[in-house]
Amino acid sequence: MDPEKNTERQMDTADGRLRRTEPATPVKVLAASALEPGTEIGCYTIVSRLGEGGMGVVYKARDRSLERTVALKFLPSHLYHNPAFMQRFRTEARAQARLHSPNVVTLFQLLEIPAGLVLVMEYVEGRTLEQHIRENGPLDAEEAVRVFDQALRGVESAHAMGIIHCDLKPNNIFLTRSGGVKLMDFGIARILGHGEPGNVGAVIGTLLYIAPEQLNGRQADFRSDVYTLGISLFEAITGRLPFERKTHYGLMHAHAVERPPSPRIYQHNLPAQIEAVILKAVEKDPGRRFQTAAAFRVALLSHGGKPAARASRHATSPGSAGTLLARAFPPRQIVASAGFDLALLAAIISLALWLGFVPVPPVPAPASPPQSAVPPVIHTPAIAGPQSPPQPAVPVRPAAPFSPRLPGKYRLLQRVWGGS
């Protein structure tokens, strides 16, 4: 056997260079799609197959040297001898090796072995945004803002390193079980300054999400990622794409010429401000879009919610007093209960007034009419004679106040309410 063919080459992610090393345990040439659990690739042991995409087959594996779980991505066997796809695969390695962001899947190593070209990447539990939409339906506005806030942070990190992803579709946005968001699959990324992969004018990306300038033969730039992520946000919120055509030509024509429909046609509860952000991100003219991923993210947060770090659903511990109170007495329930209590009190007062339970203030007696002036008393000399005995004064009893006659069973209630 030619020792040159049995060597292992690996890339140091610190500087992105390929270095030839001594061969590891010999591995017979196998089709990447046929690796069984227990197969050893260098220091990695295959655990299970995770899936297959246009740029490779992905396996879950165990790193025996560092005692950790990793993901191994193999170039499809039928593409292994295609120089263009091999170059694209190496480009993905360079792109991810230069990125250090919590919102981008980390690349650990690039291996070239007889079994194929392999990317050793961070293993993350969860599912893609595409799977989430298919299984659970579209996201509500608040959740969409949380997800795309993190996705845009990852895009900002890539752009800061001069890397354009070119294919930011929901299938490349990964939702972790812990609530995080990570970008993956930089297999068609273009690194500015290197012109990889392919030449200017090449159509690179998924037609369902591709930016118009790429279809027109212009070079993709950072604003192309803004457009693609805007299309993905449209789909995440509405559950459908803005342009759905049966042919490639129809899709290309729609992206290049047709105006996208209003997202609120499909999601009536969507705030108008978020709709405006989406439509600005998918403008045909790159000059009319958000010029950076950071501007896109700021606009989305200003109209749609708080940053992910502060808007997490788990920000408050489940057992805290505030959480328990909020669960026991939701705001809507408190308002409804208060309204019912006020209505009941008003009904009781009205009934009491109608039955006479509430004492009515006594009506003052009408004033006596003015009396005429008393005539002057004329003193005459007393006439001698027998005097009649003085008559005793008759006491005058004051009139009793008016009180409505009520049945006997109501008199006690009237006294309780303050009546006589």
Residues catalogued as catalytic: 167
Could you identify the residue written with the tokens 């591709």?
Answer: 210
For the chain, count helices (H), then strands (E): 12, 13
Burial of 242 (0-12, 13-18, 19+ CB in 10 A): buried
* Helix, strand, coil share (%) of the chain residues, nearest 5: 40, 15, 45
**Short-list 367, 92, 140, 377, CA closest to 239:** 140
Alpha-helical regions (H) of 246-357: 248-256, 272-281, 293-304, 308-311, 321-328, 331-355
Query: Alpha-carbon distance 414 to 346, whole Å?
Result: 19
Query: Alpha-carbon distance 141 to 266, whole Å?
Result: 13
What's the token pair of residue 233? 């946000």
Could you identify the residue written with the tokens 């004492």?
Answer: 359
What's the token pair of residue 211? 């930016």
Specify which residues 173 forms β-bridges with. Answer: 183
Query: Alpha-carbon distance 162 to 293, whole Å?
Result: 13
What's the token pair of residue 219? 């070079």
User: Residue 17's CB: how many other CB atoms inside 10 A?
Assistant: 10
Q: In this structure, is the dihedral angle defined by the CA atoms of residues 32, 33, 34 and 35, taken in order, positive or negative?
A: positive
Q: Return contacts of 215-224, CB within 8 angstroms, 24+ apart.
A: 215/252, 215/255, 215/256, 216/256, 220/164, 220/166, 220/190, 221/164, 221/192, 221/286, 222/159, 222/164, 222/291, 222/292, 222/293, 223/286, 223/289, 223/290, 223/291, 224/164, 224/166, 224/286
Preceding peptide of 375 cis, ω within 30°: no
Specify which residues 111 forms β-bridges with. Answer: 10, 118
Query: Alpha-carbon distance 197 to 99, whole Å?
Result: 18
